[in-house]
Amino acid sequence: MTVKYSKDHEWVKVDGDIATIGITNHAQEQLGDVVFVELPAVGKKVEKDSEGAVVESVKAASEVYVPVSGEVVEVNSELEGDPAMVNRDAEGGAWFMKVKLSDPSELDGLMDKAAYDKFTA
């Protein structure tokens, strides 16, 4: 399974033609305590770098951008009942959405873990 990172601090785990998308540990640390998550509708068509979800913390509201184009096929509804999961497991169980890729070549423009770590250092 390939994991890529965006400059907007989202991660993308790719399995076949499905991309699971969430925010990075770095992003959740910047946000502070997450108190609300708004997820997209299943079936929504999303474009690369468009707003896909909203996350609100005690400090600020922030958009979650979609690093790849496609169709939302699943959302993590657990986050709506437990938004603090983003703080506990940002790069694991607290994924936001799964998108069926319409253009897998868009992944080529994203960073690997080493490049992302350097970007946030």
**Which amino acid belongs to residue 16?**
G
Can you state the percent helix, strand and coil of the chain, rounding each to 5?
25, 40, 35
Going from N- to C-terminal start, the domains of the chain cover 2-120
pTM: 0.96
What confidence category does residue 82 fall into, taking pLDDT thresholds of 50, 70 and 90? very high
What confidence category does residue 113 fall into, taking pLDDT thresholds of 50, 70 and 90? very high
Tokens of 66: 């979609």
For the sheet with 70-75, list strands across it.
2-5, 10-15, 18-23, 97-101, 70-75, 45-46
Is the CATH number 3.40.50.150 carried by domain 2-120?
A: no
